[in-house]
Amino acid sequence: MQAVTLPTIGTDTAWRNAARALLAARTPPEDVLWHFGEAAPQLFDAAPIAPTDAPPIKVPASFVALADTVVWHSDPERFARLYALLWRLPHTPGLMTDRGDPGLARLRALEKNVQRCKHKMKAFVRFRDIGPPDLPRRRFAAWFEPTHHTVEPTAPFFAGRFADMDWMIATPDVTARFENGALSFAAGLPRPDLPEDATEELWGTYFCNIFNPARVKISAMTSEMPRKYWKNLPEAKHIHGLLAGAEARVREMQDKGPSLPPARAAKILQQLHAPALAQTLDELRARAEAENRTPLPNRGRIVLGEGPADARLMIVGEQPGDVEDQQGRPLVGPAGQLFDRVAQEAGLDRATAYVTNAVKRFGFTQRGKRRIHQAPERSDIEHARWWIDSEIRIVQPALILAMGATAAKMLTGNGTGILARRSRIEDTPAGPVFLTVHPSYLLRLPDPAQAQDATARFREDLAAVRALMAA
């Protein structure tokens, strides 16, 4: 009877050496007693295996891989079973590929256990930060209790992954250390007292919130994360609470039902669904021509603005009138002529500005042969928004002169109290907007003295704009 004792560290090499010597000495499997660890019971003579210089044995590569894995299993019979298979190998062709063979099937099952244990160790080791934060290499430590002796075969994985930090994995039978790029193994430790790590709280928060209470599947969790690992997993302490509260959370969700959307939703969606603005004046003109082919009742054609596309000043009136509609140009009717005269007096050159209207179509009611001007309706203003937004986007003026309530409403969102707000700049999403009255207001004042005063104030406004543009 031959007794062999294998060490807890370096078991794989020790088993291979022993097996090689035993096979060279032609020792049959039934005459070998295998022991693991230090204190081997010595019932029979433990004759040391004589080192032989027998020729190396040839085995299939798949056997070596199998043996190197199975030696780490906790089953006390593993070494004997491996040796028994090795003993049969030379006489049984095709043995390594025969999964129906009971001896191999059993070893493959052990191999699977070890592979799974290694995999779970890669997954479930949890490091804690133990070093002072100012060290060049950070330091971490973990306590782990594997089912099989998998620390040694799994440690290279951690060395390849966490190479820029020092770490230690302590287990009851072996401790792996990685310091300054060197991996070493020592005997096991009692469970060390690792300092608290604040990141564990964040991890717990993540674990709780990634859980979907509507789909509880406890068996799927426990089959992949068996309870035996829970005591060393910081997140496992939350599981009970999550499960206990899951049903109530789902019921609450269902009872609550749909709520009213927040105020910002409608605005965002409206912006999102708004048609894309035109990119060039040519595109805008083509679009206007296309729309003008179908006349609308009580509405004139689309009259676009005119002036340089890179103007620094944009002048916005109300809407085209009868004359503008006929000529297809903005601000050329009676009010336009008044504007031109006052602007000239104020020193403001209309030709350098981009002149346009807030609303693009002349709105009127037909009275006999005359078309009577109608104030734009809300729908006209909504329709016109795309046009004026496109024009602003293309011209990108430094200042916009808004004349009258409609232009003020369109550009600042508020068309009330123009007389109180005039002669001032208001900031808007489209840029600074200078407010003043519409020149047609001057034409409508019945009292000549009043009209003269108002025209003077209008002139002052235009002069102020000129000064702003010159500055």
Partner 1 sequence: MSKLSLDSKLAILSDAARYDASCASSGTTRRDSKDGKGLGSTEGSGICHAYAPDGRCISLLKILMTNFCIYDCAYCVNRVSSNTPRARFSVEEVVSLTIEFYRRNYIEGLFLSSGIIRSPDATMEDMVRIARTLREKHQFRGYIHLKTIPDAAPELIEQAGLYADRLSMNVELPTDASVQAYAPEKNPATIRRAMGEFRTRKEASTDRSHTGKRPPRFAPAGQSTQMIVGADLSTDATILGTATRLYGDYRLKRVYYSAFSPIPDAAAALPLIRPPLQREHRLYQADWLLRFYGFDLAEITGARADGNLDLEIDPKLAWALANRQHFPLDVNRAPREMLLRVPGFGTKTVGRILATRTHRTLRHDDLARMGAAMKKARAFITLTDWTPGALTDSANLRARFAPPPEQLSLF
Question: Which of the residues 178 through 217 are near partner 1 (CB under 8 A)?
Answer: 181, 197, 199-203, 205-217
Q: How many C-beta atoms lie closer than 10 Å to residue 309's C-beta?
A: 13
- Collapse the DSSP code of 66 into the 3-class scheme (helix H, G, I; strand E, B; otherwise coil) and give the result: helix
Select from 80, 194, 242, 445 the one that contacts partner 1 (CB under 8 A). 242
Which residue's CB is nearer to partner 1, number 57 or number 265? 265
Largest CA distance in the chain: 134
Residues numbered 86 to 105 that lie near partner 1 (CB under 8 A) are: 93-94, 97-102, 105
Tell me the Cα Rg of the chain.
44
Which residue's CB is nearer to partner 1, number 137 or number 285? 137
Select from 46, 221, 381, 443 the one that contacts partner 1 (CB under 8 A). 221
218 near partner 1 (CB under 8 A): yes
- Supply the minimum distance, in Å, between the C-beta of residue 352 and partner 1: 34
Select from 126, 287, 383, 422 the one that contacts partner 1 (CB under 8 A). 126
Count of residues of this chain found to bind partner 1 when the rule CB under 8 A is applied: 77
Q: From CA 302, how far away is CA 316, in angstroms rounded?
A: 15
Select from 128, 177, 287, 371 the one that contacts partner 1 (CB under 8 A). 128
Structure tokens at 219: 């068996």
Residue owning tokens 């035109």: 278
246 near partner 1 (CB under 8 A): yes
State the distance between the two ends of the chain, measured CA to CA, in whole angstroms. Answer: 109
Which residue's CB is nearer to partner 1, number 24 or number 95? 95
- Supply the minimum distance, in Å, between the C-beta of residue 177 and partner 1: 16
- Supply the minimum distance, in Å, between the C-beta of residue 100 and partner 1: 3
Structure tokens at 265: 């939703």
63 near partner 1 (CB under 8 A): no
Residue owning tokens 């206007």: 288
Within 8 A by CB and 6+ apart from 153, the residues are 12, 68, 69, 72, 114, 118
346 near partner 1 (CB under 8 A): no
277 near partner 1 (CB under 8 A): no
Which residue's CB is nearer to partner 1, number 190 or number 258? 258
Structure tokens at 423: 């002669």
Which residue's CB is nearer to partner 1, number 45 or number 196? 196
Within 8 A by CB and 6+ apart from 118, the residues are 72, 150, 153, 154, 157
Which residue's CB is nearer to partner 1, number 138 or number 371? 138
Select from 119, 227, 370, 444 the one that contacts partner 1 (CB under 8 A). 119
Structure tokens at 22: 């035993």
Residues numbered 355 to 414 that lie near partner 1 (CB under 8 A) are: none
142 near partner 1 (CB under 8 A): yes
Q: Which amino acid is at 330?
A: P
Q: From CA 211, how far away is CA 234, in angstroms rounded?
A: 16
Alpha carbon distances (Å) from 56 to 20, 21, 25, 34, 59: 8, 10, 12, 22, 10
443 near partner 1 (CB under 8 A): no
228 near partner 1 (CB under 8 A): no
